[in-house]
């Protein structure tokens, strides 16, 4: 799976560089996300701007990450969401469950961190 990791203050940014998060990649994605959750005390921003399709495994990973971070008094956000993926989030009402922002900088601001901090 192709991805990039960046930091923004107390946020870790995981940028997924795949067009699809299907079952075969979703398991690797889940392990990666949960590795982040267990390895530190940072909030998590997932940049899925390159992703045009995701399956239920990816959605369940987002839900589990959000719930785990919330239980640790940390925050989760999705950013740069492709319109096709946004439609899926709306159909499942997950757009109301997650913080979803148009840009990484917006995600940092919403999570209380100055962009580039």
Q: What is the mean pLDDT for each group of 10 consecutive residues in the chain (117 residues)?
A: 89 93 83 84 92 92 93 94 96 95 93 69
Alpha-carbon separation of residue 52 from 21, 28, 88, 105, 112 (angstroms): 8, 18, 10, 21, 28
pTM of this structure: 0.92
**What are the structural domains of the chain?**
3-110 (3.30.750.24)
Residue 27 to residue 10: CA distance in whole angstroms: 26
């Amino acid at each position: 799976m192709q991805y990039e990791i960046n930091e923004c203050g107390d946020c870790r940014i995981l940028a997924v560089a795949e067009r699809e998060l299907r079952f075969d990649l979703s398991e690797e994605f889940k392990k990666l996300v949960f590795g982040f959750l267990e390895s530190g005390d940072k909030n998590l921003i997932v940049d899925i701007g390159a992703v045009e399709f995701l399956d239920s495994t990816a959605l369940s990973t987002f839900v589990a990450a959000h719930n785990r971070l919330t239980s640790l008094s940390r925050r989760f956000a999705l950013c740069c969401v492709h319109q096709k993926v946004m439609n899926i989030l709306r159909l499942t009402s997950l757009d109301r469950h997650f913080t979803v922002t148009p840009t990484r900088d917006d995600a940092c601001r919403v999570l209380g961190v100055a962009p580039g901090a």
